[in-house]
Amino acid sequence: KAGVTQTPRYLIKTRGQQVTLSCSPISGHRSVSWYQQTPGQGLQFLFEYFSETQRNKGNFPGRFSGRQFSNSRSEMNVSTLELGDSALYLCASSPGQKNTGELFFGEGSRLTVL
């Protein structure tokens, strides 16, 4: 069974640009969550999607957005990039509606903003 797949793994952007990151969850998983990891702030929750609907949202500005498609694949978008957006962006999936179990993480997309 394939794991969570994130693309691209590495990317470099300049300030003001926008970026789209993609996440394919484990087959059969309907929930996809996104996290930002930085040395200073650690791991912070961005948002979660379940059955194409945003179920939870963290404390990030509106420049950060996401969506989920009918096949459960998810994308997140960051517009008007700032230097502070440089981070490892992690996607995680889990099976069902009532999540009491663990999340399964991808390898991450490392974004560098110059």
Partner 1 sequence: AQSVAQPEDQVNVAEGNPLTVKCTYSVSGNPYLFWYVQYPNRGLQFLLKYITGDNLVKGSYGFEAEFNKSQTSFHLKKPSALVSDSALYFCAVRVYNQGGKLIFGQGTELSVKP
Binding site for partner 1 (CB under 8 A): 4, 6, 31-33, 35, 42-43, 45, 48, 50, 55-56, 58, 90, 92, 94, 97, 99-108, 110
To partner 1, the closest distance from the beta carbon of 80 in angstroms equals 25
DSSP 44-94: EEEEEEETTEEEEE-S--TTEEEEE-TTS-EEEEE-S--GGG-EEEEEEEE
- Smaller CB distance to partner 1: residue 50 or 64? 50
To partner 1, the closest distance from the beta carbon of 21 in angstroms equals 13
How many Å apart are CA 91 and CA 105, to the nearest integer? 6
